[in-house]
Amino acid sequence: MKRIGKVHVLTDTVLQARFSHMELARLAVAGGADVIQYRQKQGSTLEMIETARAMKAVCRDAGAVFIVNDRIDVAMASDADGVHLGQTDFPIALAREILGVNVLIGGSAATIHEARDCLEQGADYIGFGPVFHTTSKEDAGPVSGLAGLRELRAAMDVPVIAIGGIDETNAADVIGAGAHGIAVISCVCCRDDPEEAARRLCARLG
Protein backbone atom coordinates (compact mmCIF):
# COMPACT_ATOMS: atom_id res chain seq x y z
CA MET A 1 0.00 0.00 0.00
CA LYS A 2 1.32 3.45 -0.94
CA ARG A 3 2.22 5.76 1.93
CA ILE A 4 0.59 9.15 1.50
CA GLY A 5 1.66 10.57 4.84
CA LYS A 6 0.10 13.10 7.19
CA VAL A 7 2.50 16.04 7.29
CA HIS A 8 3.85 17.16 3.92
CA VAL A 9 6.49 19.88 4.01
CA LEU A 10 7.13 21.60 0.68
CA THR A 11 10.67 22.93 0.65
CA ASP A 12 11.14 26.49 -0.56
CA THR A 13 14.08 28.79 -1.25
CA VAL A 14 12.08 31.69 -2.73
CA LEU A 15 10.11 32.79 0.33
CA GLN A 16 13.27 32.38 2.38
CA ALA A 17 16.97 31.98 1.59
CA ARG A 18 18.35 31.04 5.00
CA PHE A 19 17.99 27.30 4.48
CA SER A 20 18.63 25.18 1.38
CA HIS A 21 16.21 22.52 0.14
CA MET A 22 18.51 19.90 1.61
CA GLU A 23 18.66 21.59 5.00
CA LEU A 24 14.90 22.04 5.09
CA ALA A 25 14.36 18.37 4.30
CA ARG A 26 16.75 17.29 7.05
CA LEU A 27 15.23 19.62 9.64
CA ALA A 28 11.62 18.86 8.74
CA VAL A 29 11.99 15.08 8.99
CA ALA A 30 13.90 15.50 12.24
CA GLY A 31 10.84 17.37 13.51
CA GLY A 32 8.51 14.56 12.48
CA ALA A 33 7.35 15.40 8.95
CA ASP A 34 6.66 12.15 7.12
CA VAL A 35 6.60 13.55 3.56
CA ILE A 36 8.99 16.01 1.92
CA GLN A 37 8.06 17.59 -1.39
CA TYR A 38 10.86 19.17 -3.42
CA ARG A 39 9.39 22.30 -5.00
CA GLN A 40 11.79 24.10 -7.36
CA LYS A 41 10.49 26.05 -10.33
CA GLN A 42 13.75 27.45 -11.71
CA GLY A 43 17.33 26.31 -12.18
CA SER A 44 19.18 23.73 -14.21
CA THR A 45 17.87 20.19 -14.49
CA LEU A 46 21.26 18.81 -13.46
CA GLU A 47 21.24 20.81 -10.23
CA MET A 48 17.67 19.74 -9.52
CA ILE A 49 18.58 16.08 -9.95
CA GLU A 50 21.60 16.38 -7.67
CA THR A 51 19.53 18.13 -5.01
CA ALA A 52 16.67 15.66 -5.35
CA ARG A 53 19.01 12.68 -4.97
CA ALA A 54 20.46 14.13 -1.79
CA MET A 55 16.97 14.85 -0.42
CA LYS A 56 15.81 11.35 -1.30
CA ALA A 57 18.69 9.91 0.74
CA VAL A 58 17.72 12.02 3.75
CA CYS A 59 14.10 10.90 3.49
CA ARG A 60 15.03 7.26 3.00
CA ASP A 61 17.24 7.25 6.08
CA ALA A 62 14.47 8.90 8.13
CA GLY A 63 11.72 6.63 6.83
CA ALA A 64 9.96 9.54 5.15
CA VAL A 65 8.36 9.76 1.70
CA PHE A 66 10.06 11.91 -0.95
CA ILE A 67 7.98 13.60 -3.64
CA VAL A 68 9.03 15.90 -6.49
CA ASN A 69 6.73 18.70 -7.56
CA ASP A 70 5.93 18.81 -11.30
CA ARG A 71 9.18 17.43 -12.73
CA ILE A 72 8.72 13.74 -13.49
CA ASP A 73 12.17 13.63 -15.10
CA VAL A 74 13.75 14.76 -11.83
CA ALA A 75 11.56 12.30 -9.93
CA MET A 76 12.70 9.42 -12.12
CA ALA A 77 16.37 10.41 -11.97
CA SER A 78 16.31 10.64 -8.17
CA ASP A 79 14.21 7.51 -7.62
CA ALA A 80 11.61 9.63 -5.82
CA ASP A 81 8.66 7.91 -4.18
CA GLY A 82 6.26 10.09 -6.11
CA VAL A 83 5.37 13.27 -7.93
CA HIS A 84 2.79 15.97 -7.31
CA LEU A 85 1.19 17.60 -10.34
CA GLY A 86 -0.83 20.79 -10.61
CA GLN A 87 -3.65 21.54 -13.02
CA THR A 88 -1.28 22.98 -15.62
CA ASP A 89 1.66 20.66 -14.94
CA PHE A 90 2.53 17.39 -16.65
CA PRO A 91 -0.71 15.44 -17.32
CA ILE A 92 -1.47 12.94 -14.57
CA ALA A 93 -2.63 10.22 -16.97
CA LEU A 94 0.59 10.44 -18.96
CA ALA A 95 2.68 10.52 -15.77
CA ARG A 96 0.94 7.36 -14.61
CA GLU A 97 1.64 5.71 -17.98
CA ILE A 98 5.32 6.62 -17.77
CA LEU A 99 5.94 6.05 -14.06
CA GLY A 100 3.83 2.93 -13.57
CA VAL A 101 1.40 1.85 -10.90
CA ASN A 102 3.78 1.78 -7.93
CA VAL A 103 4.77 5.45 -7.94
CA LEU A 104 2.74 7.80 -5.75
CA ILE A 105 1.02 10.55 -7.75
CA GLY A 106 -0.79 13.51 -6.23
CA GLY A 107 -2.94 15.98 -8.11
CA SER A 108 -3.84 19.54 -7.14
CA ALA A 109 -7.50 20.53 -7.14
CA ALA A 110 -9.50 23.55 -6.03
CA THR A 111 -12.94 22.11 -6.84
CA ILE A 112 -14.76 18.79 -6.69
CA HIS A 113 -14.75 18.69 -10.49
CA GLU A 114 -10.96 19.07 -10.62
CA ALA A 115 -10.56 16.44 -7.90
CA ARG A 116 -12.67 13.93 -9.83
CA ASP A 117 -10.65 14.61 -12.96
CA CYS A 118 -7.39 13.97 -11.06
CA LEU A 119 -8.70 10.65 -9.78
CA GLU A 120 -9.94 9.57 -13.19
CA GLN A 121 -6.47 10.23 -14.58
CA GLY A 122 -4.85 8.05 -11.93
CA ALA A 123 -3.97 10.25 -8.94
CA ASP A 124 -3.57 8.51 -5.57
CA TYR A 125 -4.45 11.55 -3.49
CA ILE A 126 -5.76 15.08 -3.91
CA GLY A 127 -3.92 18.20 -2.81
CA PHE A 128 -6.89 20.47 -2.05
CA GLY A 129 -6.80 24.18 -1.44
CA PRO A 130 -6.20 26.83 -0.60
CA VAL A 131 -8.18 26.09 2.53
CA PHE A 132 -7.19 29.40 4.11
CA HIS A 133 -5.60 32.57 2.79
CA THR A 134 -1.97 32.04 1.79
CA THR A 135 0.85 34.26 0.63
CA SER A 136 3.07 31.33 -0.40
CA LYS A 137 1.50 30.98 -3.85
CA GLU A 138 0.50 34.03 -5.88
CA ASP A 139 -2.00 32.16 -8.10
CA ALA A 140 -3.53 30.08 -5.33
CA GLY A 141 -7.10 31.13 -6.13
CA PRO A 142 -10.06 31.71 -3.78
CA VAL A 143 -10.06 29.99 -0.41
CA SER A 144 -12.39 27.05 0.17
CA GLY A 145 -12.50 27.21 3.94
CA LEU A 146 -13.23 24.21 6.10
CA ALA A 147 -16.71 24.07 4.57
CA GLY A 148 -15.23 23.47 1.13
CA LEU A 149 -13.04 20.71 2.52
CA ARG A 150 -16.03 19.04 4.17
CA GLU A 151 -17.99 19.29 0.94
CA LEU A 152 -15.22 17.58 -1.00
CA ARG A 153 -14.92 14.78 1.54
CA ALA A 154 -18.68 14.27 1.53
CA ALA A 155 -18.65 13.94 -2.25
CA MET A 156 -15.57 11.74 -2.62
CA ASP A 157 -13.88 8.98 -0.67
CA VAL A 158 -10.31 9.95 -1.45
CA PRO A 159 -7.26 10.85 0.65
CA VAL A 160 -7.10 14.65 0.76
CA ILE A 161 -3.97 16.60 1.66
CA ALA A 162 -5.15 20.09 2.52
CA ILE A 163 -2.94 23.07 1.71
CA GLY A 164 -3.05 26.83 2.02
CA GLY A 165 -2.60 28.91 5.16
CA ILE A 166 -2.29 25.90 7.45
CA ASP A 167 -0.20 26.16 10.61
CA GLU A 168 -0.17 24.91 14.19
CA THR A 169 -3.20 27.05 15.08
CA ASN A 170 -5.60 25.42 12.61
CA ALA A 171 -4.07 22.09 11.60
CA ALA A 172 -6.24 20.06 13.98
CA ASP A 173 -9.38 21.74 12.60
CA VAL A 174 -8.35 20.78 9.07
CA ILE A 175 -7.97 17.14 10.04
CA GLY A 176 -11.28 17.35 11.89
CA ALA A 177 -12.92 18.54 8.67
CA GLY A 178 -11.92 15.33 6.93
CA ALA A 179 -8.42 15.85 5.53
CA HIS A 180 -6.10 12.86 5.54
CA GLY A 181 -3.17 15.19 6.08
CA ILE A 182 -1.78 18.67 5.58
CA ALA A 183 0.80 20.31 3.32
CA VAL A 184 2.70 23.38 4.49
CA ILE A 185 5.40 25.73 3.34
CA SER A 186 5.76 28.96 5.34
CA CYS A 187 4.92 27.65 8.80
CA VAL A 188 7.98 25.39 8.66
CA CYS A 189 10.35 26.73 6.00
CA CYS A 190 10.11 30.38 7.01
CA ARG A 191 10.51 29.87 10.75
CA ASP A 192 13.77 30.49 12.58
CA ASP A 193 13.83 26.83 13.67
CA PRO A 194 12.16 24.63 11.02
CA GLU A 195 12.76 21.47 13.04
CA GLU A 196 10.94 22.81 16.08
CA ALA A 197 8.21 24.28 13.85
CA ALA A 198 7.64 20.85 12.28
CA ARG A 199 7.61 19.27 15.73
CA ARG A 200 4.94 21.68 17.00
CA LEU A 201 2.87 21.09 13.88
CA CYS A 202 3.03 17.32 14.20
CA ALA A 203 2.09 17.55 17.88
CA ARG A 204 -1.15 19.29 16.91
CA LEU A 205 -2.16 16.28 14.88
CA GLY A 206 -1.63 13.83 17.74
Residues designated as active site: 39, 108, 137
Kindly state the DSSP code that residue 91 receives in the 8-state scheme: -
CATH number, domain at 118?
A: 3.20.20.70
**Which pLDDT score, from 0 to 100, does residue 100 have?**
96
Bridge partners of 107, per DSSP, are 85, 126
Who contacts 17 (Cβ-Cβ below 8 Å, separation ≥6)? none
- Does residue 65 form part of some domain? yes
Kindly state the DSSP code that residue 105 receives in the 8-state scheme: E
The alpha carbons of the chain give a radius of gyration, in whole angstroms, of: 15
DSSP E strands, 70-123 = 82-85, 104-109
Output the DSSP codes for 9-61: EEE-SSS--SS-HHHHHHHHHHTT-SEEEE---SS-HHHHHHHHHHHHHHHHH
**Which pLDDT score, from 0 to 100, does residue 138 have?**
59
- Does residue 102 form part of some domain? yes
**Which pLDDT score, from 0 to 100, does residue 142 have?**
82
Nearest to 67 by CA among 138, 137, 134, 4: 4
pLDDT tens-digit series, residues 140-172: 578 999 999 999 999 999 999 999 999 999 999
Nearest to 35 by CA among 57, 69, 4, 1: 4
Write out residues in the chain with pLDDT < 50, as ranges. Answer: none
Indicate the pTM of the whole model: 0.95
- Does residue 148 form part of some domain? yes
**Which pLDDT score, from 0 to 100, does residue 139 have?**
59
**Which pLDDT score, from 0 to 100, does residue 135 have?**
72
**Which pLDDT score, from 0 to 100, does residue 200 have?**
97
- Does residue 1 form part of some domain? no
- Does residue 2 form part of some domain? no
**Which pLDDT score, from 0 to 100, does residue 136 have?**
65
Nearest to 6 by CA among 134, 145, 172, 142: 172
Backbone angles phi, psi at 120, to 5 degrees: -60, -30
- Does residue 60 form part of some domain? yes
> Can you give the residue range of the structural domain that contains 197?
7-204
**Which pLDDT score, from 0 to 100, does residue 137 have?**
60
- Does residue 85 form part of some domain? yes
**Which pLDDT score, from 0 to 100, does residue 1 have?**
75
User: How many domains are contained in the chain?
Assistant: 1
To 5 degrees, how large is the angle CA 160–CA 27–CA 190?
75
